[in-house]
Homo-oligomer: A and B are copies of this chain.
Amino acid sequence: MHIKKQRLLTPGPTPLYPPALHAMMASDMHHRTEDFRKAYRSCLADLKEVMGTSGDVLMFCSSGTGVMDATVSNLFSRGEKVIVCVAGKFGERWAEIAKAYGLDANVITVPYGQVVTPAQVQEALAKEPATKGVFIQASETSTGAAHDVRAMAAAIAKTPAIFVVDAITGLGTMPLDIDGWGLDVVIGGSQKAFMIPPGLAFLSLSPKAWKLSETSTLPHFYFNFKKEKKSGDAGESSWTPSTALILAMAEALRYVKSLGMSKLVENAQLLAEATRAAVQRLGLELFAAASPGSSVTAVKAPAGMDSGVIVKEFRNRFGAIIANGQGSMKGQIFRIAHLGYFDFADLFAVVAGLEIILNANGYKVAYGTGVAAVQELYERVAVQPQTVNA
């Protein structure tokens, strides 16, 4: 007999930061009190700081999809021309939302695993100068690919269109200079690099984005950017907030601030690089090989092996929940996450477990081969003591 600890190693929900979990317990707090306003103000101010923007940041009780929806219903009008970049399941969601609200969307679709290029966006903008917005994922969680949002932003900034970036798994895993690059809307969620359970979503808004809210005619009520901005300025949310999660978020943000957002990004990048090195050393193929992001690494299952077997074996043998492919990628790829509260020790365990599972299912590898790749990278970068729990 051996103990199997439960380990959540998926690209969202991600591993939870324990002090934030403990903070949730203090949620016997009324939301119209100074104690709560203090926590709420601290959340909004710290989010602005770690996102690195001087623009407004608003927070909502919803999943990330709620704020994607809200961005369309608050900033656009029926029939307006937009460009939607689709490189996976979450890009498809942008297309569905645009359709639900009657936008006139030019959908640029690339196969799963590939990315939409800045040239494609530029060309589409040139063809339709009346374009009001460009929608994309910074990091497409379903494939592990990352978009070059910096280059796209440079092209979009010259047009009347706003750039709407779903950075739900992009924040904390890649550099995103919101103000410097001109990312007009950047959307995040609590259950990703922010290390707490799902249930909160937030966004930043540039002055160019706010301007669109003046002309938008789509109906909305619960998600109301103007009202929420006014409430947030007073240290409150417009409707009853998710008090438990906000207390958790305030605690997690203190930790992220103490690390520094750039260090959190560096951590994800190192773990992603080590993961790529490990699986390639094991002879496996990366899925989004040309543009791999650092939120999650998608790996192709060996020929003849269903990736679902690997996911199931991780759960059964090691109690670890890793992610299968989504949609049409189910069974084809498995995904190893790096966003948020992940460390090298997690990765040693994942790669060692993977080696055992591959062997047991007929894909023979020498034990320790992949782990050694992670260890070598660790040794190269671990010249200075790394931060542990604050």
Smallest CB–CB gap between A197 and chain B, Å? 4
- A244 and chain B: residue at smallest CB distance: B197
Distance (whole angstroms) from the CB of A69 to the closest CB of chain B:
4
The number of chain A residues touching the other chain, given as a range, is: 35 or more
Q: Does B8 contact A198, Cβ atoms closer than 8 Å?
A: no
Copies in the complex: 2
Partner of A222, one of B10, B30, B65: B65
CB contacts (< 8 Å) of A64 on chain B: these are 239-240
Most chain B CB within a 10 A radius of its CB, from A27, A78, A102, A191: A27
Instruction: Bits for A30-49, please: 1 = Cβ < 8 Å to B, else 0.
Output: 11010000000000000000
Is A118 on the interface with B (CB-CB < 8 A)?
A: no
Q: Which of A13-21, A284-292, A373-381 contacts B (4 or more CB under 8 A)?
A: A13-21
A133 contacts the other chain (CB 8 A):
no
What separation, in Å, do the CA atoms of A25 and B69 have in the docked complex?
A: 29
Tell me the complex Cα distance, A239–B15, Å: 19
In the complex, whether A321 has a CB less than 8 A from a CB of chain B is yes
Q: Chain B's nearest CB lies how many Å from the CB of A244? A: 4
* CB atoms of B219 and A101 under 8 A apart: yes
Chain A positions 222-242 with a Cβ under 8 Å from a chain B Cβ: 222-223, 239-242
Q: Are B10 and A30 in contact (CB under 8 A)?
A: yes
Contact of A240 among B24, B72, B198, B244 (CB under 8 A): B198
Q: Is there an interface contact between A222 and B69, defined as CB atoms closer than 8 Å? A: yes
Provide the residues of chain B in CB contact with A30, threshold 8 Å: 8, 10, 13, 321
Instruction: Pick from B7, B10, B27, B102: contact of A197, CB below 8 A.
Output: B27
* CB proximity of A281 to chain B, nearest CB, Å: 28
A66 at the interface (CB under 8 A from B): yes
A243-B197 CB under 8 A given contacts A33-B321, A101-B219, A219-B73: yes
Compute how far the CA of A218 lies from the CA of B218 in the bound complex, rounded to whole angstroms.
10
A interface residue numbers (CB < 8 A to B): 6-8, 10, 12-13, 15-16, 21, 24-25, 27-31, 33, 61-66, 68-70, 72-73, 78, 96-97, 100-102, 189, 191, 197-199, 218-223, 239-245, 321
CB-based closest 7 A-B pairs: A199-B242, A197-B244, A69-B222, A63-B239, A65-B239, A100-B221, A27-B197
